Amino acid sequence: MALVETVIVAFWLMLPAYVPNNAAVLAGGGRPIDGGRTWGEKRVLGDGKTWRGTAVGTAAGALLALALNAVAGDVGSAIGADLPTFPAAAVLALPFGAMCGDILASFLKRRTGRERGAPFPLVDQLDFVVVSLAFAFVAAPGWFTDWFTLGVLVVIFVLTPILHVSTNVAAYWLGFKDEPW
């Protein structure tokens, strides 16, 4: 694969994992997943991880994967690239994995004494990638190894922190988010 095609495939594959966090920021609120419970001195997860944000985020990513499936053929022939479609298991695993990665990061933030909203460099940028890739691998191993080549994985790990930082700064400036990370 040429570099441009590798970048396009990497971005396409990860879109259903990128959108959930942003959708959760817009939809968040209501009952926190940890129900206010603490572990030791600190909250288990904190008020930033809600049932509604998690459900809406997962649904938004899954719907996007289905939409991408519908247009993959046309977009692929228009740009002259072979684009992946998402098998049903990956439609759910990528966005749900992204939300679980973000929740796991909040769990680790609270255990290491970081308050809600505190930055945790690299963990904030890559938590959701690692867990969504792991879930996708378990859910659809054959499909995963076909598409997530070494080159695609390298692009994902370079591209994601850049996209994550820039979308969060944009969301902060637009007033959707309390902190720019």
d(CA 88, CA 102): 22
Helix (H, G, I), strand (E, B) or coil at 43: strand
The minimum distance between CB 97 and ligand CTP, in angstroms, equals: 13
Q: CA neighbours within 13 Å on the CB side: how many for 130? A: 11
Judged by CB under 6 A, the stretch of 61-69, 75-83, 95-103, 149-157 that binds ligand CTP is 95-103
The minimum distance between CB 27 and ligand CTP, in angstroms, equals: 7
d(CA 89, CA 159): 24
Judged by CB under 6 A, the stretch of 70-78, 90-98, 102-110, 135-143 that binds ligand CTP is 102-110
Nearer to ligand CTP, 108 or 162 (CB): 108
The residue among 31, 35, 23, 172 whose CA lies nearest residue 96 is 23
Tell whether residue 102 is a contact of ligand CTP (CB under 6 A): yes
The minimum distance between CB 1 and ligand CTP, in angstroms, equals: 33
39 DSSP β-pair partners: 42
Alpha-carbon torsion (37, 38, 39, 40), positive or negative: negative
Report the site for ligand CTP in 15-54 (rule: CB under 6 A). Answer: 24-25, 28-29, 46, 48-50, 53-54
d(CA 139, CA 145): 12
Which residue minimizes CB distance to ligand CTP? Answer: 53
Nearer to ligand CTP, 73 or 180 (CB): 180
d(CA 90, CA 84): 11
Nearer to ligand CTP, 7 or 42 (CB): 42
Q: Which residue has the tokens 């680790």?
A: 108
Nearer to ligand CTP, 93 or 103 (CB): 103
Q: Which residues bind ligand CTP (CB under 6 A)?
A: 24-25, 28-29, 46, 48-50, 53-54, 99, 102-103, 106, 109, 116-118
